[in-house]
Amino acid sequence: MYKTYWGMELNPFDKGLAACDCFKSGDFAQASSRLEHLKNIKGIGLFTGLPGTGKTYSLRCFADSLNSNLYKVAYIPLSTVTVLEFYKSLAYGLGIEIFQKKVDLFKNIQERIISLSKDKKIIPVIIIDEAQYLKTDILNDLKILFNFEMDSKNYAIFILSGQPVLNDILSKQIHEALKQRIVIKWNFRNDNILKRNQKNGIKLKQRIVN
């Protein structure tokens, strides 16, 4: 009813807006350029920011831009899990058999990533959202799970996305080895920059619906 009243063809604040209709903030541009670089070099990327600054939207646009014949995206939004549940979620995302033992899951996940990358020429893109909730034991395993050929190869793109506290978590000594493996990072900004982007975004949405 409100769309008829205001003469709008769509809801400008709908999460399902097409990428071409959404506002591209400075953060979006910065994150997108880094994601493109990560696509070329592979490895681990870290993207952080407060809620509502566009992290997940930027990642969605990146995932949507990938050729499905060349990339396999596994998006994992549930991060409040045990270590075994994390391995099962990752196995499910990669489309492989889910075993009950961690050691079997670890072996199958690594073999699947290597097979996709080397044999099928398909790069796995694994995105973990709300990564600030990941347990310490999971973060400890990540540096081992993505260690290929004695840490000499990057066969996948692995993206950690979360709130700024994730930076504090990874700065702890226990996570130094994982932090050193991060090849790309961006922290989405806020305050005055965010306010300016919001004003510009509202103007864009007004143009879309009129």
Q: Point out the residues of the chain with pLDDT beneath 70.
A: 1-23, 190-210
Provide the pLDDT for residue 188. 94
Taking the C-alpha atoms of residue 202 and residue 207, their distance in angstroms, rounded to an integer, is 9
Do 158 and 43 touch, CB atoms closer than 8 A?
Answer: yes
Tell me the β-bridge partners of 44. 158, 182
Within a domain: 23: no
Within a domain: 29: no
Provide the pLDDT for residue 204. 45
Q: Give the range of the structural domain holding residue 76, as residue numbers without chain letter.
A: 42-63+70-209
Provide the pLDDT for residue 59. 95
The structural domain count of the chain equals 1
CATH of the domain at 110: 3.40.50.300
Within a domain: 12: no
Within a domain: 132: yes
Neighbours of 200 (CB within 10 A): 14
